[in-house]
Structure 1
Amino acid sequence: MTVAHTKTSNYPISFEFFPTKTPEGAAKHVQVRKDLYARQPEFCSVTYGAGGSTQAGTFSMVRDIQAEGMQAACHFSCIGATSDKVRAELQELKDMGVKRLVALRGDLPSGYGLGGEFHHASDLVEFIRNEFGDWFHIEVAAYPETHPQAKSPEADLKAFATKIQAGAHSGITQYFYNADAYFRFVEGIQALGVQVPVVPGIMPILNSSQLMRFSDATGAEIPRWIRLRLQAYGDDVTSIRAFGMDVVTRLCEQLRDQGAPGLHFYTMNQSAATLELCDRLGL
């Protein structure tokens, strides 16, 4: 399968990282970030572990990104937290000069009860707005294929609308490989009167077993034809990567050409695949 390389200038992109666990990993990631900054992303987001379990690492990487002259968006989850704790941590981010947040409900580490003062991401969004006004640009999560815990697709659309009504500015989706699901989601929220940018989350396909595991855990669908092709390649990493690059490039082209407002790349803390996708897309 041959994929056309289309030149596109000034199309908004952003990158997601997760906190590194070792000094060696942190040192290596400096070069990863430098390579990706060359593509002039709008921002780089940093994830936040269950129950805030990676908070120190998250804030450290956010601080590094800001110091490197790039805008950082800090993931921030609220489940199990108190308002005093959330207020203090948000104040710390504000003092660091952070202007973007990805506001999430989050998952508690196993063995914890619900607890806390925030039960939904919309509660967190409302709190941020009340406490910090317009200081933060707030992104929230969107699920084109429906959140795995949602009672129905309609309930999931309404949950997203509630987050926007609480004060969020825009959405970033969970990764997907079916563009129709994304466009149906956007049409669904627009029917509810929601008119905010919803940026597709893009996951490169590099490792089939890892992708299957992620997708089974998060509820992201791998279309049957993609799953069967990946299974047929077995342990042929080169063929899996080549096939995955073609699939994801075509997905990105379809999203961009039909009006998606940008692309948010889940880099998995690597640069090569994301850089190749950017090259193929002329970004």
Structure 2
Amino acid sequence: MSSSGKKFSLEFFPPRDIAAQEKLVRSAKQMQALHPDYVSVTFGAGGSTRSGTVETVRMMQNLGFDTAPHLSCIGAAKAELAELLDGYRAQGVRRIVALRGDLPSGMGGDSGEMRHARDLVAFIREHSGDHFHIEVAAYPEMHPQSLSAREDLAHFVDKVKAGADSAITQYFFNADAYFDFVDRLQAQGVDIPVIPGIMPITNNAQLARFSNMCGAEIPRWIRLRLADFGDDRASIRAFGLDVVSQLCGRLLERGAPGLHFYTLNNAEVTTALWGRVVPR
């Protein structure tokens, strides 16, 4: 934890091949110098990266990171989830990021024994008691499948009531959306830490694709500036670093309890951003 008392963490995804694994190892070793409070490892749609997640969690632990596996319930049986939880407990894992998750593209039919993240949170508490610190997802700009902001907030409150300890948000570029979400939570009597998720801006097409999938809004002025840069990657990265670091500064100044960086397994960009915004 930084001297400010705020928590700062990193997110990685399991590599899909040997070259990606080698890159991840290099990036993770470089980011050890940042001394994050913990790192998380994602879990693919329908558990599609299950073995990769387990292996990546072990690798991160061997590098000395406090590591939090993502765990999703869609498409999974309770017996499978219990096996994963028991394995992580035996490895010394103390933190879980509990998500509903998505079915892989083209997969229909059975979505598993649990349909909502609140069900997974409740199951983890029933199975493992208070062993794990449970983090859940939050959506300041509303989950893309929610019918209304009120419904979306109610789903989040349900996850807290089921036993969530803290939350990580979907990324956003509008600080007001985050603070409005936190204010509405507090009005409901919910005061768990809600950590902003921070996405670097390095590639216009990639950012647009991610945002279309998850419902994160790219403000018009940012979209227009990125379009002006065309294929000039260096200018996009410089602009992105300025925009995102300014966002982080506003969030921290107004009381955000920390930041969670979506690294995309890229040490260079994450380290540059971290150096600008994380108090020493």
Show the counterpart of 1:98.
93
Show the counterpart of 1:35.
30
Task: Tell me if the contact between 1:173 and 1:198 (Cα under 8 Å) persists in the aligned partners.
Answer: yes
Equivalent-residue separation in structure 1 for 2:73 and 2:245 (angstroms) = 34
What SS does structure 2 have at the residue aligned with 1:221?
coil
Q: Report how far residue 115 of structure 1 moved.
A: 3.0
The one of 170, 173, 179 equivalent to 1:174 is: 170
Are residues 1:250 and 2:246 paired? yes
Show the counterpart of 2:271.
275
Letter in 2 for 1:15: L
The one of 47, 56, 66 equivalent to 2:51 is: 56
What SS does structure 2 have at the residue aligned with 1:74?
strand
Equivalent-residue separation in structure 2 for 1:12 and 1:111 (angstroms) = 37
Q: Report how far residue 24 of structure 1 moved.
A: 2.6
Task: Tell me if the contact between 2:47 and 2:75 (Cα under 8 Å) persists in the aligned partners.
Answer: no
Deviation digits for residues 220-244 of structure 1 (CA, Å, limit 9, x no counterpart): 0000110111111111212111111
Show the counterpart of 1:111.
107
Deviation digits for residues 187-217 of structure 1 (CA, Å, limit 9, x no counterpart): 1111111110000000000001110111011
The within-5 A match list for 1:1-283 is: 11-109=6-104, 110-283=106-279
Q: Which runs of no fewer than 5 residues in structure 2 stay unpaired?
A: none
Letter in 1 for 2:92: G
CA RMSD in angstroms comes to: 1.4
Show the counterpart of 1:3.
none
- Over the matched positions of the two proteins, sequence identity in percent amounts to 55
Equivalent-residue separation in structure 2 for 1:131 and 1:120 (angstroms) = 17
Equivalent-residue separation in structure 2 for 1:11 and 1:117 (angstroms) = 36
Task: Tell me if the contact between 1:108 and 1:114 (Cα under 8 Å) persists in the aligned partners.
Answer: no
Task: Tell me if the contact between 1:49 and 1:55 (Cα under 8 Å) persists in the aligned partners.
Answer: yes
What SS does structure 2 have at the residue aligned with 1:38?
helix
Q: Report how far residue 28 of structure 1 moved.
A: 2.5
Show the counterpart of 1:4.
none
Letter in 2 for 1:270: N
Q: Structure 1 length normalisation: TM-score?
A: 0.95
Letter in 1 for 2:142: T
Q: Report how far residue 23 of structure 1 moved.
A: 2.1
Q: Report how far residue 64 of structure 1 moved.
A: 0.9
Q: Which runs of no fewer than 5 residues in structure 1 stay unpaired?
A: 1-6
Q: Report how far residue 27 of structure 1 moved.
A: 2.3
Kindly tell me the number of residue pairs found equivalent between the two proteins: 277
- In structure 2, the CA distance between the partners of 1:282 and 1:138, relative to structure 1 (3 Å rule), is closer
Equivalent-residue separation in structure 2 for 1:113 and 1:122 (angstroms) = 21
Equivalent-residue separation in structure 2 for 1:61 and 1:269 (angstroms) = 12
- In structure 2, the CA distance between the partners of 1:227 and 1:275, relative to structure 1 (3 Å rule), is same
- In structure 2, the CA distance between the partners of 1:191 and 1:252, relative to structure 1 (3 Å rule), is same
Letter in 2 for 1:208: N
Q: Structure 2 length normalisation: TM-score?
A: 0.96
